[in-house]
Amino acid sequence: MDEETLTKKLKTGTTTVGLVCSDGVILASDKRASMGYFIANKEAQKVFKIADNLAMTIAGSVGDAQTLVRLVTAEAQLFRLKNGKPMSVGAATTLLANILQNYKFYPYFVQLLVGGYDEKPRVFNLDMVGGVTEEKFVSTGSGSPMAYGLLEDAYEDNTSVKDSIPLALRALSVAMKRDCASGDGITLFTITKDGVKEYSKDEIATLTSAQKAKKPAQVK
């Protein structure tokens, strides 16, 4: 595969965000699926529950990402049946990293975030050949440079999930305003010791409205 073809395949649009909080993890994304300059879908699912303590985000090729979601979900279920306990965040990440590494000469065109809560909240960032980094805050996809601009300035360690949700929503909002491949709404998940929660459209709308109401007045 030549460099030009590889570059074209990697030009995928998305913004995902992962935050580690004092009591859990936040994973969020936009909903737009694009094919070049064409908006292919406005309700794309980019955050998935993997187990009662795990979730992951996807960016990149939709088919490749969905295949990996199915694989790791099945493996997490088998692990629980065999061992009587949930798969850890680190184990799920290692499994995915090994799969990606095994296919590095014909790679899955993806960038993944795996987040969850076992002994503590954790988020891992995986590239398409299985490289892994553990992060406190992270963003992937074409809108990530804009999201990082806010996260670098505003993220605070040891903040609760409840208090950190507005930051995740703001980071996505900033990215969607400037990245044409990101948009059409937000998907929001939190993972705490109580499990994985997916927020409804109404809940996200309420949180977004409350966030806008708290903006300071501006001099005109």
> What is the token pair recorded at 85?
């306990």
Q: Which residues contact 170 (CB under 8 A, 6 or more apart)?
A: 150, 154, 211
The answer to whether the CB of 152 falls within 8 A of the CB of 167 is no
Residue in 14, 57, 140, 187 annotated catalytic: 14
Q: Which residues contact 186 (CB under 8 A, 6 or more apart)?
A: 28, 29, 30, 31, 169, 172, 204, 208
Active site residue 190: no
Q: Give Dmax (Cα) for the chain.
A: 64
Count of CB atoms within 10 A of residue 198's CB?
Answer: 15
The DSSP 8-state label assigned to residue 79 in this structure reads H
Q: Give the SS3 label for residue 160.
A: coil
- The amino acid sitting at 31 is K
| Active site members | 14
